[in-house]
């Protein structure tokens, strides 16, 4: 019998399973431009905030806005993103193949994301993500966003797996921190941030440029290894 180090794999969505961060950048720039605010440069201005709720990001820019006002701002930005995603969104390299291969090996799978439900629906319509996993968990379930561990812990509970037996895939330091606080090992995916941005986290199993580069042998104990 093959022995595994993990029973469940928990995947962030934006920047981990789907190559959405460039589209979010375009949407943020367009939204801020509509407010008369020009963001400097073309680089991702929200890399350090990846994994946070849009409302929380907006609080940094509009600290005096009410929660209702920030929610309306966030929805306007996300609507711009969805318009782009409906035609331009692509999966991260290797993402769909990894989901399917790990499902075939018997791992339980979940998507753990701060994305709004409408954004998740766009990704699902393009790539059939919900049929590939057993659970999709987000703040819409009444949970706090990352770096709080709530989303990952709720996913583990939904899957019936102990946190220590879960492996998290994340492209954001806040997500790696959330995994650490949940007592979970993690893989950093450097689609949004260079590897140096994850170096401080002790719970990393690996750091990879995309999911095509992830070695599935790492899911198994050294004594029992499977073929790719």
Write b or e for each residue in 135-147: b if 16 or more Cβ atoms lie within 10 A of its Cβ, otherwise e: bbbbbeeebebbb
Burial class (CB in 10 A: 0-12, 13-18, 19+), 63: exposed
Given a contact cutoff of 8 angstroms between Cβ atoms, the answer to whether 206 and 187 are in contact is yes
Active-site annotation holds for 14: no
Neighbours of 201 (CB within 10 A): 16
Q: Among 12, 14, 150, 171, which one carries the catalytic annotation?
A: 12
What is the distance between the alpha carbons of residues 228 and 225, in angstroms, rounded to a whole number? 9
Alpha carbon 98 to its chain's center: 15
Q: Three-class SS string for 11-50?
A: ECCECCCECCHHHHHHHHHHHHHHCCCCCCCCCCCCHHHC
Catalytically annotated residues:
12
């Amino acid at each position: 019998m093959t022995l595994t180090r993990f029973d469940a794999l928990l995947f962030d969505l934006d920047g981990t399973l789907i190559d959405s961060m460039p589209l979010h950048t375009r949407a943020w720039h367009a939204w801020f431009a509509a407010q008369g605010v020009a963001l400097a440069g073309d680089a991702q201005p929200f890399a350090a905030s990846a994994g946070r709720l849009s409302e929380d990001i907006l609080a940094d820019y509009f600290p005096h806005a009410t929660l209702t006002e920030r929610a309306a701002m966030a929805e306007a930005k996300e609507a711009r993103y969805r318009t782009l995603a409906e035609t331009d969104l692509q999966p991260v390299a290797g993402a769909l193949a990894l989901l399917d291969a790990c499902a075939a090996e018997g791992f339980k799978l979940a998507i753990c994301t701060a994305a709004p439900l409408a954004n998740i629906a766009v990704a699902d319509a393009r790539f059939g993500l919900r049929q590939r996993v057993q659970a999709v968990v987000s703040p819409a379930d009444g949970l706090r966003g990352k770096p709080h561990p709530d989303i990952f812990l709720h996913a583990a509970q939904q899957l019936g797996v102990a946190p220590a037996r879960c492996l998290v895939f994340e492209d954001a330091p806040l997500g790696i921190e959330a995994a650490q606080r949940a007592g979970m090992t993690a893989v950093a995916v450097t689609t949004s941030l260079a590897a140096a941005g994850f170096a401080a986290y002790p719970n990393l199993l690996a750091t990879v440029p995309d999911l095509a580069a992830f070695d599935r042998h790492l899911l198994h104990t050294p004594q029992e290894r499977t073929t790719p």
